[in-house]
């Protein structure tokens, strides 16, 4: 039985929910957060929903105090929460930029800052950042999103170099087109165009991402750090 504790942000749906449920089934105690109250799609003693706004440092501070009192400070932190606000650059409003950077990049800073101290003290831990293939190859209409996700790559490498000597690994996972709410807006023609550009000729499943995250969280991945690993069916090879 695995007794490690995981904290994953943005766990109410999509990839975050899939990772949380997958890790809970593997025996991890999983605290999943979202900005509003939510319940997981499945019941498990290993799944704990927690309301938390990663853009609000007071909210994170309160959550950290609560988890410390309950002896639930995470051994593994998965920074998954992210939003999109797509628009061509010339039409992009200031708030489209600010909100996406605030959640997708600064939110990762906020959450990691609060919970890595305990890992450093324990000389053990995992930080896994969920990035995107958009941060590696760019995407029209996503200057804000791609910038934030590219920023996660630098965050991952720099932090990995700082905390490696304390037994903590820091890695990033870059999903491509995964069947979630975030791809459901595509019409059939757009989907077919995307699929034709993917060597494996299909969209990914959230489980494809969850399985890689589970590996990076495990003892077996103890010598992998500072990496950005794509789960994109070969869409972007670098």
Q: What is the pLDDT of residue 182?
A: 61
pTM of the predicted protein model: 0.96
Look at 70 and 186; give whichever has higher pLDDT.
Answer: 70
Contacts by 216-220, CB closer than 8 A, 24 or more apart: 216/126, 216/128, 216/169, 216/171, 216/173, 217/4, 217/6, 217/23, 217/28, 217/76, 217/78, 217/126, 217/128
Residue 101 CB neighbours (<10 A): 16
Q: At what angle do helices 94-101 and 143-163 cross, to 10 degrees?
A: 30
pLDDT tens digits along 87-144: 999 999 999 999 999 999 999 999 999 999 999 999 999 999 999 999 999 999 999 9
Q: Rounded to an integer, what distance in angstroms lies between the CA atom of residue 236 and that of residue 238?
A: 6
The residue from 22, 28, 145, 223 that is catalytic is: 145
- Pair of tokens at residue 164: 């490696």
Please name each of the domains of the chain with its CATH number.
5-231 (3.40.50.720)
Beta bridge partners of 16: none
Q: What is the pLDDT of residue 30?
A: 98
145 catalytic per annotation = yes
């Amino acid at each position: 039985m695995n007794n490690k504790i995981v904290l994953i942000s943005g766990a109410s749906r999509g990839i975050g929910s899939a990772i949380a449920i997958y890790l809970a089934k593997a025996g991890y105690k999983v605290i999943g957060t979202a900005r509003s109250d939510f319940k997981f799609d499945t019941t498990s003693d290993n799944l704990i929903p927690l309301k938390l706004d990663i853009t609000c440092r007071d909210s994170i501070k309160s959550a950290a105090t609560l988890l410390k009192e309950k002896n639930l400070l995470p051994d593994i932190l998965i920074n998954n929460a992210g939003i999109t606000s797509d628009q061509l650059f010339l039409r992009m409003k200031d708030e489209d930029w600010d909100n996406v950077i605030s959640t997708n990049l600064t939110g990762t800073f906020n959450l990691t800052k609060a919970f890595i101290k305990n890992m450093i003290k324990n000389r053990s831990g995992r930080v896994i950042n969920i990035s995107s293939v958009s941060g590696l190859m760019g995407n029209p209409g996503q200057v804000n999103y791609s910038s934030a996700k590219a920023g996660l790559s630098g965050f991952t490498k720099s932090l990995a170099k700082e905390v490696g000597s304390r037994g903590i690994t820091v890695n990033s996972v870059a999903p491509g087109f995964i069947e979630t709410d975030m791809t459901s807006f595509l019409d059939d023609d757009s989907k077919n165009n995307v699929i034709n550009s993917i060597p494996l000729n299909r969209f990914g499943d959230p489980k494809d991402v969850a399985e890689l995250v589970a590996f990076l969280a495990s003892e077996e991945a103890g010598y992998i750090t500072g990496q950005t690993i794509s789960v994109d069916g070969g869409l972007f090879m670098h």
